[in-house]
Structure 1
Amino acid sequence: MTEFETTLVAKTDDKRRKGQVVVGVDGSPSSLAAVAVAAREARMRGCALRIVHAFLWPMLRVPLEASPLGPPDGGLRNEALRLLREAVAHAAKAEPDVETTSTLITGEPLTVLEKESEFARLVVVGSRGMGGFIGLLLGSTAVHLSAHGKCPVLVVRGAPVADGPVLLAVDGSPAGAAAVEFAFAEASLRGAELLACHVWNERLYVGPADPPNAVYDPDRLRDAEERLLAEALAGCAERYPDVRVTRKLLTGRARPVLIETSRQAQLTVVGARGRGGFTGLLLGSVSQALLHHAESPVAIVRAEKPSPELGG
């Protein structure tokens, strides 16, 4: 069932919007791919899909209607409505049983989608939009939402392995607990294995700059890292007994190791910030690296709104 609605003012029916999967569209191939992924996420959660297009042109005070000298279906407003109709049709083709609504909201995309995230279970966006420069790996909307969104943000990118695991990057930080919960919920919804990886770098523990009397016990340090990984997963493993979990302790630099591991995943999940993040930094270096270079879709989960029921 689909419903098509348009408005030049953001909807205020917050009760109706709460708990939906929201996807932002701009007419780019990347955003259409995001629509199909969002429809699947909505179907798995048993909730509605809300397709949103941020209509910037009214704010710039330019003509919106069709020109008297042009075709009657021309003009910026009609183009925006056509874009939404195309997205609704794409969602219906991907998941015909998902209830879908669409809305046209005046505003710039960053503000519109951040506001939408206050009421959503999940916001889905493409990795690049219409305004992306050639060679730019990630659009500003995806980066902004990952840092400021009020719910988990799924950025559609890479080539996911359909039967691959859900990859979870574990750092053991309190801020990462919401990402752990989200990853378990996603693995359960998808009927997938959860591959929980913790990356540590042995070389960080000893080197020319270390004190001459430094004691280095690699086995002891490895045991400590293994305990960190096990403790980070313990609570969720009990709450999601249906999820098969594989724990991996990997050595090296976190960013390249996780990017390479993402090649085998259907989804990569990471917290917005981890251990060592600077105070006030909303998006950590590992999260940013995965957003730009992961080989599978990436879900960024911030700690401000953990909710097992909503999968985040």
Structure 2
Amino acid sequence: MAADRPIVVGTDGSPSALQAVSWAAKEAALRNAPLTVITTTFVPGAYGFPVGLPPSFFEEEELEAKKRLARAAEAAADAVPGHSLEIHTVLGTETPAGELVERSKAARMVVVGANRQGIIERVLLGSVSSAVATHAHCPVAVIHGLPDTDINALAGPVVVGVDGSAHTEPAVSMAFEEAALRHTELVAVHAWSDVDLHLAFEGGADPTWMQEVVKNETARLSERLAGHAEKYPDVKVRTVVVMDQPAHGLREEAENAQLLVVGSRGRGGFTSLLLGSTSRALMHSVNCPLLIVR
């Protein structure tokens, strides 16, 4: 049943990962969903490690992994005081990205921190957040650790990118749902140019043409939002239409947002690309949680 599908979050014990756990716990509580916390441990022969390493190495790794899970479960419970959140912990033996992608097949969302803690993880395993965002079978939330900030204390609207293509329909639908769950405003951003055209219109361009384009693009955006607005009548919607590259406009609106929602690919993406340029750029340039919806 859909109601039993968990929110899945990975942890490596880093501050960024623990913030991801806290955010995932709140998301699970908002949806009355169970939370699954995953970490991984090294096993003989895994990740290219020599098989000759002493057993004590792997025993210590397993012990540390169990401690990470315990700390993460505690952080999850602390993030939603008074809520009887169902928390499950999983100790995996595959790569972190591999474990999370596999779990994504039965999850309603996967949550990852944006930074890995150790040199071994960074060199041998690469960017887990990028790999999971690219290959997961469900929406992926990427959480950047904010020093001295409670990730769940972020206020402001939910921001969603709308490019007018069918690719962003699932993202728009989920953005409305998130705004309703959080009782906050939804800001729908439509950037109608894929290139920076500001220089082209400096020095005497006819403003009438520009006004007509903005008018048409605003109408196009309203059409895309109409059905969702009817489903969520209590969600206040503010529209923003900009002549800019999508990533620029979305970054600007996300500065004061509690969540940014985008599709995994936009209107210009090749069907063979699983993660578009806009979503990939935003993964590395926004501070608020980023939710990528396939």
SS in structure 2 at match of 1:229: helix
**3-state secondary structure, aligned to 1:51:** strand
Q: Which residue matches 2:183?
A: 191
In structure 1, what is the Cα distance between the partners aligned to 2:198 and 2:253?
24
Equivalent pairs counted in the alignment come to 273
Partner Cα distance (1:226, 1:220) in 2: 10
Mapping of 1:12-91 within 5 angstroms?
Answer: 18-58=4-44, 59=46, 60=49, 61=51, 66=56, 75-91=60-76
| TM-score normalized by the length of structure 2 | 0.84
Look up the equivalent residue of 1:180 and give its one-letter code: V
Report the Cα offset of residue 65 of structure 1: 5.3
User: How far does residue 63 in structure 1 lie from its aligned partner after superposition?
Assistant: 5.5
Question: In the aligned structure 1, how far is the partner of 2:118 from the partner of 2:56?
Answer: 23
Alignment-mate amino acid for residue 256 of structure 1: H
For residues 40-88 of structure 1, give each alpha carbon's deviation from its aligned partner in whole angstroms, at most 9, with x where no partner exists: 0000000111101122334244668547xxxxxx611111111111111
Whether the aligned pair in 2 keeps the contact of 1:151 and 1:301 (CA below 8 Å) is: yes
User: For residue 171 of structure 2, what is the amino acid of its counterpart?
Assistant: A
Matched residues in 2 for 1:64 and 1:228: separation? Answer: 63
Within the alignment, does 1:171 sit opposite 2:157 as a pair?
A: no
Structure with higher helix content: 2
Q: Tell me the secondary structure at the aligned position of residue 264 of structure 1.
A: coil
Judge conservation of contact 1:122–1:153 (CA < 8 Å) in 2.
yes
Residues 114, 144 of structure 2: 8 Å contact kept: yes
List per-residue Cα deviations over 1:193-223 (Å, max 9, x = no partner).
Answer: 0011111349659969xxxxxxx83233222
Partners of 1:231 and 1:64 lie apart in 2 by 63
The answer to whether the aligner puts 1:233 opposite 2:218 as a matched pair is: no
Match of 2:204 in 1: none
Query: What letter matches 1:44 in structure 2?
Result: L
**Counterpart in 2 of 1:220?**
212
Q: Which runs of 5+ in 1 are unaligned?
A: 1-14, 68-73, 209-215, 303-312
1:261 aligns with 2:247: no
Identity of aligned pairs, percent?
40
Residue 130 (structure 1) aligns with: 117
Q: What secondary structure, in the 3-state scheme, does the structure 2 residue paired with 1:293 have?
A: coil
The runs of at least 4 consecutive aligned structure 1 residues that moved more than 3 Å come to: 15-18, 60-67, 158-161, 201-208
Q: Which runs of 5+ in 2 are unaligned?
A: 202-207
| Displacement after TM superposition at 1:131 (Å) | 4.0
The AA in structure 2 aligned to 1:177 is: E
- CA–CA distance in 1 between the matches of 2:73 and 2:230? 39
Give the aligned partner of residue 277 of structure 1: 269
Hey, what does 1:100 align to over in structure 2? 87
- Alpha-carbon distance in structure 2 between the residues aligned to 1:17 and 1:56: 33
State the Cα RMSD in Å: 2.9
* Cα distance per residue 1:9-40 (max 9 Å; x no partner): xxxxxx79951111001111111111100000
Looking at structure 2, the residues matched to 119 and 231 of structure 1 have their Cα atoms a distance apart, in angstroms, of 33
Distance 1:17-1:142 versus aligned 2 partners, 3 A rule? farther
1:292 aligns with 2:284: yes
Maintained 8 Å contact 1:57/1:64 = no
Tell me what 1:153 maps to. 140
CA contact (8 A) 1:23 1:38 kept: yes
Residue 282 of structure 1: how far off its partner (Å): 1.2
Hey, what does 1:3 align to over in structure 2? Answer: none
Output the amino acid matched with 1:148: H
Structure 2 counterpart of 1:306: none
